[in-house]
């Protein structure tokens, strides 16, 4: 009953920018936090950035100063503005949401992922 839909991935040259979006829908009572993870070939999935309902943010050291996470509470949507992209940022980016459902159960939900490729 909860779905996450991601968009905004693509191919960009090093130094360029992309903006990812993730919209949550379904039987949602409250979203405590939303975030972005990424997984590159041969590597484990890692947290990129997260934001709580109160606006607190957390970033991976590798993206600090380059990426910005934000959200639109009314739209249940989280964004990731990615600037000064590097080839090392190439990965599949996954949206995650910590959701309290309408029946007051808490779950983590995942989007299907969107590919980001940065060429040198």
User: Can you tell me the distance from the alpha carbon of 114 to that of 2, in angstroms, rounded to the nearest whole number?
Assistant: 18
Task: Categorize the per-residue pLDDT at 12 as very low, low, confident or very high, splitting at 50, 70 and 90.
Answer: very high
Task: Give 107's strand partners.
Answer: 99
Task: Categorize the per-residue pLDDT at 14 as very low, low, confident or very high, splitting at 50, 70 and 90.
Answer: very high
Torsion of CA 94, 97, 98, 102, to 10 degrees: -140
DSSP string for the chain? -EEEEEE--EEEETT--EEEEEEEEESEEEEEEEEEEEE-TTS--EEEEEEETT--EEE-GGGTTTEEEEEEGGGTEEEEEE-S--GGG-EEEEEEEEEEETTS-EEEEE---EEEEEE-
The overall average pLDDT reported for the chain is 96
pLDDT in tens, 41-99: 999 999 999 999 899 999 999 999 999 999 999 999 999 999 999 999 999 999 999 99
pLDDT of residue 90: 98
pLDDT of residue 108: 94
pLDDT of residue 1: 81
Average pLDDT score over residue span 11-27 = 97
pLDDT of residue 17: 98
């Amino acid at each position: 009953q909860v779905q996450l839909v991601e968009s905004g991935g693509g191919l960009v040259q090093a130094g360029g920018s992309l903006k990812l979006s993730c919209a949550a829908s379904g039987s949602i009572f409250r979203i405590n936090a939303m975030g972005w993870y990424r997984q590159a070939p041969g590597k484990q999935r890692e947290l990129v950035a997260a934001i709580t309902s109160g606006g607190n943010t957390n970033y991976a050291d590798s993206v600090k100063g380059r990426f910005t996470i934000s959200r639109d509470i009314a739209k249940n949507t989280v964004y990731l503005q990615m600037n000064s992209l590097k080839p090392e940022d190439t990965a599949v980016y996954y949206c995650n949401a910590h959701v309290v459902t309408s029946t007051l159960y808490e779950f983590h939900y995942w989007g299907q992922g969107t590919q980001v490729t940065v060429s040198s």
